[in-house]
Amino acid sequence: MSDSPEPPSGRVLPETDGTTVYNAQCCVLEGDRNPSLDALEPPRTTRNMKNIDYTLYLVTGRNLLPPNKDFFESLEESIQGGVTIVQLREKELDTSEFVELAVKSKIICDKYNIPLLINDRVDVALAANVDGVHLGQSDMAVKRARELLPHGSIIGLSCNTVSHVKDAIKQKVDYIGIGAVWGTQTKKLTSPIIGVHGVGDMLAELEGTGIEAVAIGGINSINLLRTLHGCVSLKNRALDGVAVVSDIMASPDPRCASRKLKDILVNFQRHHKFYCLRHRGRSDVVTVDSVVSGVTQLMNEIKNARPLVHQITNTVVSTQSANVTLAVGASPIMATEPSEMQDLSRVCGGLLVNIGTMRAENLEGMMIAGTSANVLKKPVIFDPVGVGASSFRKDCVKGLLNKWQASVIKGNAGELAALAGTTEVESKGVDSVGSGFKNPAEFVRNLARRERCVVVLTGPIDYISDGISTVSLDNGHELLERITGSGCILGSIVASYCAASSQADNITDNGGIFRGDMFTAAIAGVLVLTIAGELAAKRHDVKGPGSFLPALIDELASLTADQVRELSKITVKHL
């Protein structure tokens, strides 16, 4: 900064590089100065720029305003609803109009002690005495902006790649804006859509830097919880906030729109804090007794709740999937028509998506069903059958997991290896090849952390993890491997118990993306099927796979909590 004295107006006089001439009184380009702005200028406020709340970051777009809605009225109402920081983004205004808009906006923001930033235009930020700027990759260099702006000004930088983030760290920005996460109509995209997993990779780079991060691009109240949940890095680094444009600016009631978004954000922050405490071992400790107790309690609850379970599943096994759903105490509905997905989400307790007989025309229904379930906090159980068999399946799975958040992902070693992008275990069609993972417990825990859900790895020994706790289950019988779709019917049973857990009377909404104890529900599904399989195989009327399946359904229907307590073979893995 220059050591020159402040001009009479109270603004800091910036240095120039000899190419742009600033007016000393209002710091706008000569010829654009509007003397009427002097009377509008608010006094500079003293704000602690190190404690900025980025939770709900409004990016303005006046072109999105509803008919007859005043911009300043909308701005104030959005702040009243919960907006914590504002960025003025105006690409079409000339300098004097932009400065006038900024000065008037700052009066409103200062009234509520809300920071105001300017997109791109450092000169406008200086002229209006706002709190800082947000820069794009092709805008003024951060170092130069820092030299021109008053000490303590906020500087944010847009990032679309890990390389951008590393560069932002070197430039010591205050925060980064990561995007676009989803497709957006408010801005012409010059870089590819990142998706939630891409955001998580960038957040990982910020560990220990003190730099905060907000996500931007197509974020609204429908996909917000999925965005927050899915963007968390492997080391539990979460977003500090989200930037929203149209969901607030286009709303006739921006106060209500902001409040709805803010409630989701605050609830997630509470949930994430609880998750991190558990991850550090400061909360409940999983034991064999606690697992068995939770499973047997859920076996009683499912018969009382009789949850309706929506299943988009493998057509080869849809009948037996429906039958096992009924046998464990739930009720199935098998439907694939996209136009009824939202209605079914309202009445069903949970959703199973199984891609065993995947067709392109089924993808839309899966997308809508999963998104609708997320909005209603209903569990989504995902079975990526044969995902490694073709690029078509891989692309479908990638699209689905970027669109909605799974509660439980279930698969064999080959399927989960393909999902994780590792070649440690290969697959042949829907089957795994080889001896499996060297450390399956560690693999399943890491995948659960990455996907932010419960992961079930099926095999001779089943492994289940929520990314914090991991258990292995050593029940089952070889006849389960000799009937078609045993993995698929497991998905139906897991979905049934997840739906029952979600509807349990003692479940409270902890701010997560779904209600219920998905970890215990997944364990219950695996234990119930494998123990029933053991009992069915011992029956005198079972001679082979053909007689085993009906006996299995019978045993599922008659299985008791006492049998599960007696026969379960559970090991808690401490990693």
**Amino acid identity for residue 246 in this structure:** S
Query: Which among 209, 208, 155, 201 is positioned nearest to 178, based on CA atoms?
Result: 201
Task: Determine what percent of the chain falls in helix, strand and coil, rounding each to the nearest 5.
Answer: 45, 15, 40
The residues near 491 (Cβ < 8 Å, ≥ 6 apart) are 313, 321, 352, 354, 381, 383, 410
Under DSSP, is residue 120 helix (H, G, I), strand (E, B) or coil? coil
Unique residue bearing structure tokens 């902006």: 145
Unique residue bearing structure tokens 């997560």: 512
Measured distance CA(486)–CA(118) in Å, rounded: 58
Measured distance CA(198)–CA(211) in Å, rounded: 18
H/E stretch holding 522 reads: helix 518-537
Measured distance CA(573)–CA(263) in Å, rounded: 36
Measured distance CA(327)–CA(555) in Å, rounded: 8
DSSP summary character for residue 22 = B
Catalytic one among 26, 109, 488, 498? 488
Measured distance CA(18)–CA(563) in Å, rounded: 84
Unique residue bearing structure tokens 């932010």: 452
Residues in the chain: 575
DSSP summary character for residue 32 = -
Measured distance CA(258)–CA(74) in Å, rounded: 11
Backbone angles phi, psi at 412, to 5 degrees: -85, 180
Backbone angles phi, psi at 125, to 5 degrees: -60, -40
Query: Which among 563, 534, 567 is positioned nearest to 551, based on CA atoms?
Result: 534
488 is catalytic: yes
Positive or negative torsion for Cα 292, 293, 297, 298? negative
In this structure, the strands spanning 380-383 and 350-354 are parallel
Question: 216 near 193, Cβ under 8 Å?
Answer: no
Under DSSP, is residue 454 helix (H, G, I), strand (E, B) or coil? strand
Quote the crossing angle between the two packed helices 486-503 and 518-537, to the nearest 10°: 140
Question: 468 near 281, Cβ under 8 Å?
Answer: no
Angle 190-195-201 (CA atoms, 0-180°, nearest 5)? Answer: 100
Under DSSP, is residue 428 helix (H, G, I), strand (E, B) or coil? strand
Residues designated catalytic:
488
